[in-house]
Amino acid sequence: MDFILVLAKIQPKEGCQDSIMELADELVYETLQEEGNIDYQLLKSAKDDSLTFVEKWESPEALKKHMASPHFLNFGEESEEFVENSDIQVIGANEIKF
């Protein structure tokens, strides 16, 4: 099965990790309901304060629709003041069965 993998790493401003995680609760919940979403998780680094959204999508179209959704746009606006920087990678992937 082919899919789109997104790794969206966020570096919070000092002391802002919890604020971002609280705002992300609704984003994760709503995104998991979206058509074309396979998986959507927010992972907290064991090494530093960074947070990474790990997303799997059925198609580029499903990802584009997600990026235009109210919950995605609201999260971006509401979390902006808490984010130092971010890095987003979008990868076309194939599932490999072992």
- The string of pLDDT tens digits covering residues 28-78 is 999 999 999 999 999 999 999 999 999 999 999 999 999 999 999 999 999
Span between the terminal Cα atoms of the chain, in Å:
14
pLDDT bin (cut points 50, 70, 90) of residue 86 is: very high
pLDDT at 35: 97
- Give the HSE-up count for residue 20: Cα atoms under 13 Å, Cβ half-sphere: 26
pLDDT at 84: 97
pLDDT at 38: 97
